Homo-oligomer: A and B are copies of this chain.
């Protein structure tokens, strides 16, 4: 008798956790992703801010699934699903399934603003993190040739749009990179010409956090010389400026967009019903309505609990992955699906090298204690032992010497094909 085949599309936190939770089950699991690596997304901003290299925040998926025994990996782009014939279609060919788990995640959402899509840097993918790092370093380097102060100021203004955790972390890390690390490299750099601006449409940062922590994060950023602009809605951007809805125009040579995220395009391809942020609406069992062997988890899924859609967070993704793995094991043993219940473990965001805000149940931490908590949680969760050592060395270097090792402007040459 052949064993039922579970196909999981996406090797992010949702898909990988689901695959791991199917270890030892009498099922064959095929994990598919368009990249050959699993990205530890919470540290992507540290790639962009020249602190870590790709090998330290991403692991080959094959390495991660190797110990599982019953899980295979294939690299491919998912194109669609034929629910009738139970076939996942990919750019490498068709993949039949008995159970299908869709976990293709989310992407930057520019809300149809073409100027943003063209000029702003996203910060969701490893390639984007590297591109942003190259841009920041190249901009600072290039100013050394520029005699005109006005133009230098434009080149040294970095606008980060979006006051969520990614925007807050990126703004803090970038300001530190320039004011402490690069300042040593560029003795002639006039720091009064540098601006790191965090632009947020709402009246506060970190809307999912307690108001006390929001204020703490704002103060912490301002202490790091980040200009926090609240109630500032972006209307339009160009190569070197950003226009707000208020009419104000800021000259800015680099614009980072973290203000909008929506689910991957797969939901629309499925013809499924989509909720907010283009997330696929699912039953409380995380099944696609009317398709009991198709599950949707992670950022792609719009699971609603107590009338509220669950946020796009790693703990949600991981818990959903575990729930669906358990359901599939039950179904394969002729059981049924059971409802998903989310347990909120808390959230945190870091601001530079020694400050963070953390909200865990009733505990609220900010400043240095928050940062120690952030550091511990992230270090424990970086996916491999070796990465943990390397990440710790780089963090220690940054902490002790204000030195970021990876200040290299590097692009891989085109590799001719594939």
Contacts of A138 in B (CB 8 A): 36, 415, 418
Q: 4 extra interchain contacts, Cβ-Cβ under 8 A, other than A36-B138, A62-B186, A135-B417? A: A36-B141, A60-B407, A135-B415, A411-B412
Instruction: Show 7 residue pairs from A and B whose CB-CB distance is below 8 angstroms, ordered by the A residue.
Output: A53-B55, A75-B409, A121-B415, A121-B416, A126-B408, A130-B412, A411-B411
CA distance A166 to B351 in the complex (A): 44
Given A55-B53, A386-B393, A411-B412, verify A142-B406 contact (CB < 8 Å): no
A62 to chain B, nearest CB (A): 4
Contacts of A55 in B (CB 8 A): 53, 405-406, 408
CA distance A379 to B288 in the complex (A): 55
Our pick among B93, B408, B413 for the contact of A125 (Cβ within 8 Å) is B413
Our pick among B56, B66, B184, B185 for the contact of A185 (Cβ within 8 Å) is B66
Given A53-B54, A141-B75, A406-B54, verify A127-B412 contact (CB < 8 Å): yes
A116 to chain B, nearest CB (A): 12
CA distance A119 to B415 in the complex (A): 9
Contacts of A128 in B (CB 8 A): 413
Q: A35 in the interface, Cβ–Cβ < 8 Å?
A: yes
Contacts of A184 in B (CB 8 A): 66
Q: Are B410 and A130 in contact (CB under 8 A)?
A: yes
Contacts of A368 in B (CB 8 A): none
This protein's copies in its complex: 2
Minimum CB distance partner of A119 in chain B: B416
CA distance A119 to B412 in the complex (A): 16
Q: A111 in the interface, Cβ–Cβ < 8 Å?
A: no
Q: Interface digits, A313-335 against B, CB 8 Å rule (1 contact, 0 not)?
A: 00000000000000000000000
Q: A132 in the interface, Cβ–Cβ < 8 Å?
A: yes
Q: Are A131 and B53 in contact (CB under 8 A)?
A: no
CA distance A134 to B60 in the complex (A): 13
Q: Are B62 and A131 in contact (CB under 8 A)?
A: no
Q: Are A415 and B60 in contact (CB under 8 A)?
A: no
CA distance A394 to B341 in the complex (A): 42
Q: Are B36 and A130 in contact (CB under 8 A)?
A: no
- B-facing residues in A45-71 (Cβ within 8 Å): 53-56, 58, 60, 62-63, 66
A39 to chain B, nearest CB (A): 9
Q: A82 in the interface, Cβ–Cβ < 8 Å?
A: no
Contacts of A132 in B (CB 8 A): 415
Q: A139 in the interface, Cβ–Cβ < 8 Å?
A: yes
Q: Are B35 and A409 in contact (CB under 8 A)?
A: yes
Our pick among B35, B74, B239, B403 for the contact of A145 (Cβ within 8 Å) is B74
Our pick among B37, B74, B239, B414 for the contact of A408 (Cβ within 8 Å) is B37
Q: Are B386 and A397 in contact (CB under 8 A)?
A: yes
Our pick among B36, B66, B387, B410 for the contact of A58 (Cβ within 8 Å) is B410
A15 to chain B, nearest CB (A): 17
Contacts of A144 in B (CB 8 A): 74-75
Q: Are B410 and A412 in contact (CB under 8 A)?
A: yes
Q: A201 in the interface, Cβ–Cβ < 8 Å?
A: no
Q: Are A408 and B185 in contact (CB under 8 A)?
A: no
